[in-house]
Chains A and B, each alone.
Chain A
Amino acid sequence: MTQALLREIIDYANRANPYPLYEELRKAPVSHDGDGPYVVSTYYEIQSLLHDPRISSDARNLKATGDDPLGQSAEDEGTTLPPSFLKLDPPDHDRLRRMTNRPFGPPHTPHRVHDMREELGGLVSGLIDGIATTGNLDRVDLVDQFAYPFPVTVICRLLGVPHEDEPRFHVWAETLAASLDPDPDADPTQHGKGAMDARMELGMYLAGLIEERRKNPGDDMLSQLATADGPDGAMTTMEALSTSALLLIAGHETTVNLITNGMLTLLRHPDVLQRLREDPGLSVPIVEELLRYEPPVQLLPQRTTLSDIEVAGVTIPKGASLWLILASGNRDPKRFENPDRFDPDRKDIQHLGLGSGIHSCFGAPLARQEAQLALSELARRLENPRLLEDPPQYRQNAVLRGPRHLPIACDGILPQAA
């Protein structure tokens, strides 16, 4: 039973609508089968595990297990970049995240994200203008023409990565994102090898950039990470590499899906789309509800237990692999009223879409701002937009879930606001 459900989670056939499966999973807060991971699907249990110091994010604490398709990550091999802070525990996690945060957010850089607002607005306008100039409004792919290029350009500018190199690291990013995907049919050795190679190549590419920034620092984050010298000292070159690789990859796939899932949801709820058109301020609660209703990160497959712990009556042994199904917790009727309803007027919306605890999404303020701007501008400028395929074609990935293409048609594109 459980085994069947797990296979179903990763089965592409369920990608367009995994929520009935999650509902099935939630019948037991913890599911487990044989040697596989322990799957946690209910809100309160996930929420408490995200704050539980007996749970490690460091794969080195994982007992080698047979069945867990994510059991052996390329990073364990020691032949590539060291783990990024996403896959570390305190104190190393805290130190690296703190140092990364210095040039990004409060208290040392409180205005960075806010100050990007105008630039982000310009990018959004430019991309929508671009759609207009193609002249073909009968078939617009919102992913290729908007939702992908936007966040990728943003993360490149933030880090100081030349945008013309994007095609090169796009390949690496896709490979690395795919390596997160627990594909049971892929050859694990080949799967891992590909990711390792991609990480290595990406690392070497970034090493070149960092070397250059050390000599000629700018005010981009790469320069600041390379030359940081706060109370925590400086990052080693390897630390700066894995941190910048993390930011680049995380800035790549997640926001794309947030925007695409967002437009798809809005097009399925034309009343909300109309309200957003009239009131761009509504994008704030809409994005929060989207993070609950269609979170771009569906599950966290890389946690492990440091001790035997009891969760909802099930004892999970030390060294076990945990999957926390955030998207399922977000639809837990014990936590949210009418959880399957998309309701931007929802008052109590403490979702798990950005995680929680010490690993809660580092880029959250930027992702929120990007999605808010993108959705409100698309709503305002696209005339009579409609879905051409519902459901659209999804990406393979069950972890970072989103449409591969989102073909829409519209009657016209309104000019930029004066």
Chain B
Amino acid sequence: MTGEGRSDGALERLKREGRIVVVGASLAGLRAAETMREKGFAGSLTMIGDEPYEPYDRPPLSKQVLLGNAVADHTALPRRRAIDADWRLGVPATGLDMSARRVRLGNGDEVEYDRLLIATGVRARPWPNAEEGALKGVFVLRTRDDGEGLQQALAAGPRRVLVIGAGFTGSEIASACRERGLDVTVAERGAAPLVGALGGVIGEVAAEMHREHGVDLRTGVMVTGLEGDPSGRVRAAHFSDGSTVEADVVVVGLGAQRNTEWLAGSGLGAGPRGIACDAGCRAFDIRGIVTDDIYVAGDVARSPHALFGYQFLSLEHWGNAVAQADTAAHNMLSESADRRPHLWVPAFWSSQFGVNIKSVGVPPMGTEILVTQGSLGERRFAAVYGYQGRVIAAVTFDNCRWLPFYEHQIETTAPFPPPFATVDRRPEGHKPLPADFPDPSVPTHGPTITLSGYSPADRKMTFTPGRP
């Protein structure tokens, strides 16, 4: 470090004997801690996590664990190095005092910091009706305990599983159920699975995958209520089209909520959409002023991305958590001139129905889509998304080895549609199609109320629960 001569030595002191607190003992928190130690941080490091477990990996929970091929408590994250931390596990952080630089814990303890990293992530959005959500056999899937519980429920051989929501998690769960030979119904309020993440053209391919694998896929419907038997176990679900599906396991896959409630009243710019921070991972306070001692990383962060019109993006991506944690840790221990921006290109993967799905960029920004290689019908393809004449995202189905090329196209704002010839370009790859994302002006999350009828006597109010 070349801090000497440019600073008052505060940074060297911080590295030698400072106190760093990481709230959130998961992927981002662990990777940040490792990076800090790697950079020579020798002070005290406290890791706070509300779950009783050391950091573990989540992607296997909706895949290998549900298939019974891996055990939930064997998904601990491999360590890149020892971090010599004071672990406070099983205790949630409940408050933050920014001026006294203290984190309050659920057990009444307070931990002082010189630098704070918030990596509290997201939690599964629960079923909006708490009483129904508490029925036995109703699950969400986010934590290790969730994964273990659902795995056991599937292993017990239910007659039918209902998955509410066909996003990535919901689709992976449906895929695992079919692989285990279980009957499964998927209820999706949108027109197709994955439509929010990848649009209608790709959603249609996903819908075919579900149906071909024997999933009872119902799109354009909502689940209006869950019904239990006298013993308090779920037995059926009622749909908005008037139908009923009998199921003894129900998985609620309605997306995630950011864990920011503990920061209420702290003065930090934290809310339902995450914690706003600058490109260097420094959190904003509610006045829009950047802090210099509080950093954010992972799913809970919401940071501007230069490549995508400086939009504030919150990304629930594994790779983002790793990269952002690394940047945050680097910046926490650097002079301002040595700090670097988090410039990760969003990327995620999924595995369902035997198909490997990968994406880079921000597909929902795309207005058009073009299949540049392979074919939708064969479910082996690469497709790019266009936005105002440039490539903004790409997705591959069983074709991920080409993805680095498309990532480079996005990074260099290459023109859309791509003007060049490629190997394996088919006739369907000659003309862009509308990408067909749901209208963003229509509320997609959270409960809504709609009114119908004209005369005061006909006026009706319809409550719509949170959608997938």
List the interface of chain A (C-beta within 8 A of B): 47-48, 51-56, 58, 89-91, 94, 306-309, 318, 357-358, 360
Contacts and interface: CB of A to CB of B under 8 A. Distances in A.
Given A90-B373, A91-B374, A94-B380, A51 B401 contact: yes
Given A90-B373, A91-B374, A94-B380, A51 B404 contact: yes
Nearest to A57: B423
Contacts of A48: 404-405, 408
Contacts of B408: 48
Given A90-B374, A91-B374, A53 B422 contact: yes
A51 B421 contact: no
Contacts of A89: 423-424
Contacts of B423: 53-56, 58, 89-90, 306
A53 B401 contact: no
Nearest to A308: B420
Contact of B421 (A58, A91, A306): A306
Nearest to A56: B423
A312 to B, nearest CB: 13
B324 interface: no
Contacts of B380: 91, 94
B372 interface: yes
List the 7 closest A-B pairs by CB distance, nearest first: A53-B422, A307-B420, A90-B424, A89-B423, A306-B421, A51-B404, A51-B405
A54 B374 contact: no
Contacts of A306: 420-423
B383 to A, nearest CB: 12
Contact of B402 (A91, A307, A358): A358
A306 B404 CA distance: 18
A355 to B, nearest CB: 11
Given A306-B421, A306-B422, A358-B402, A53 B374 contact: no
Contacts of A94: 380, 424
26 contacts: A47-B404, A48-B404, A48-B405, A48-B408, A51-B402, A51-B403, A51-B404, A51-B405, A53-B373, A53-B382, A53-B402, A53-B422, A53-B423, A54-B420, A55-B423, A56-B423, A89-B423, A89-B424, A90-B373, A90-B374, A91-B380, A91-B424, A94-B380, A306-B420, A306-B421, A357-B401
Contacts of A55: 423
Contacts of B373: 53, 90
Contact of B420 (A90, A309, A358): A309
Contacts, number: 51
Nearest to A307: B420
Nearest to B420: A307
Nearest to A47: B404
Contact of A307 (B372, B374, B421, B424): B421
Nearest to A89: B423
A221 B248 CA distance: 46
Instruction: Tell me what chain B mostly uses at the interface: helix, strand, loop, or mixed.
Output: mixed
Nearest to B373: A53
A289 to B, nearest CB: 19
B404 A53 contact: no
B47 to A, nearest CB: 24
Nearest to B408: A48
B360 to A, nearest CB: 12
Interface string B90-103: 00000000000000
A215 to B, nearest CB: 33
A177 B291 CA distance: 63
Given A48-B408, A51-B402, 13 more contacts: A51-B403, A51-B404, A53-B382, A53-B405, A53-B424, A58-B423, A90-B374, A90-B424, A306-B420, A306-B422, A307-B421, A357-B402, A358-B402
B408 to A, nearest CB: 6
Nearest to A61: B423
A334 B408 CA distance: 18
Contacts of A307: 420-421
A56 B422 CA distance: 8
B133 to A, nearest CB: 36
Interface in B414-457: 420-424
Contacts of A309: 420
Nearest to A306: B421
A51 B382 CA distance: 12
A8 to B, nearest CB: 31
A88 to B, nearest CB: 9
A53 B380 CA distance: 14
Contacts of A51: 401-405
B208 to A, nearest CB: 16
Interface centre among A53, A55, A58 (most CB of B within 10 A): A53
B399 to A, nearest CB: 8
Contacts of A357: 401-402
Interface centre among A51, A306, A357 (most CB of B within 10 A): A51
Nearest to B419: A307
Contacts of B378: 91
A307 B415 CA distance: 15
Contacts of A56: 423
Contacts of B405: 48, 51-53
B314 to A, nearest CB: 29
Interface in B375-418: 378, 380, 382, 401-405, 408
B444 to A, nearest CB: 34
Contacts of A358: 401-402
Nearest to B398: A94
Contacts of B372: 53
Contacts of A54: 420-423
Contacts of B421: 54, 306-307, 318
A286 to B, nearest CB: 21
Nearest to B372: A53
Contacts of A308: 420
B374 to A, nearest CB: 7
Contacts of B402: 51, 53, 357-358
A58 B421 CA distance: 14
A56 B373 CA distance: 13
B382 to A, nearest CB: 7
A52 B423 CA distance: 9
A131 to B, nearest CB: 40
A89 B402 CA distance: 13
A207 B166 CA distance: 50
